[in-house]
Amino acid sequence: MRNVISLSAGAIFGLGLLISGMTDTAKVQGWLDLAGNWDPTLAFVLGGAILPMALAWRIAARRKIAVTGEAIPAMPAQVIDARLVGGSALFGIGWALAGFCPGPAIAVLAWGGAPALVFGLAMVGGMLAFAGLERLRSRVALPA
C-alpha cells in the first residue's frame, strides 16, 4: 500500500511538472528573467501547488496520522542557520544557471538526452559531496 501511494505520488508529481512546463528550462529561466521577457508561469505553478497542500496540512492537523498509520511529520525545529541560508543560495545559483531544480531534472532524464544526464549525474555528485562533508564534520566533531 505504501509503495502504491509512493509510486502514484511520483507519477502525478512528474506529470504535473511536465504539464506545468517546469521541465522546460526556458519557462523557468523566463520566470527568473525579471529584466527581460518575464514569464510569470512559475507563480501559477507554485500557487496551484500550495493550494491543495494548505488544505492537506489542515486535514493532517486534525487526523494526526496518515492513512497507512504513519505519524504526520511534526514541524522541524526552526533554526535559521548558515547551512539553510548558504545552501539555499547555492541552490539558487545552480537553478538559475541551468533552469532545473531537482524534481524536473529527474523527470526530464527520459527524454533530455546527454545534457539532462550530465546535470543529473552532477546533481548526484553534489549530494555525495554533501554526504562527504557530513562525514568529515562528524569525524572532526565540530559543533553542529
Q: Which of residues 79-108 bind other proteins (CB under 8 A)?
A: 79-80, 83-103, 105-108
Return d(Cα 144, Cα 123) in angstroms, integer.
24
Residue 75 or 141: the one with the smaller Cβ distance to other proteins is 75
- From the list 130, 136, 137, 138, which residue makes contact with other proteins (rule: CB under 8 A)? 130
CB-nearer residue toward other proteins: 46 or 136: 46
- Smallest gap, in angstroms, from Cβ of residue 141 to other proteins? 19
Q: Cβ of residue 63: shortest distance to other proteins, in angstroms?
A: 7
**SS3 state of residue 112:** coil
Residues from 46 through 75 that contact other proteins (CB under 8 A): 46-57, 59-60, 63, 65-68, 70-73, 75
Three-class DSSP category at 70: coil
Q: Is 136 in the site for other proteins (CB under 8 A)?
A: no
22 burial level (CB within 10 Å; 0-12, 13-18, 19+): buried
Task: State in angstroms the smallest separation of the CB of 117 from other proteins.
Answer: 9
CA distances from 82 to 67, 71, 89 (A): 36, 30, 10
Angle between helices 41-63 and 2-20 (to 10 degrees): 160
Kindly identify the residues of this chain, within the stretch 18-47, that bind other proteins according to CB under 8 A: 18-27, 29, 32-36, 39-47
Q: Are 42 and 31 in contact (CB under 8 A)?
A: yes
Task: Give me the least distance between CB of 112 and other proteins, in Å please.
Answer: 5
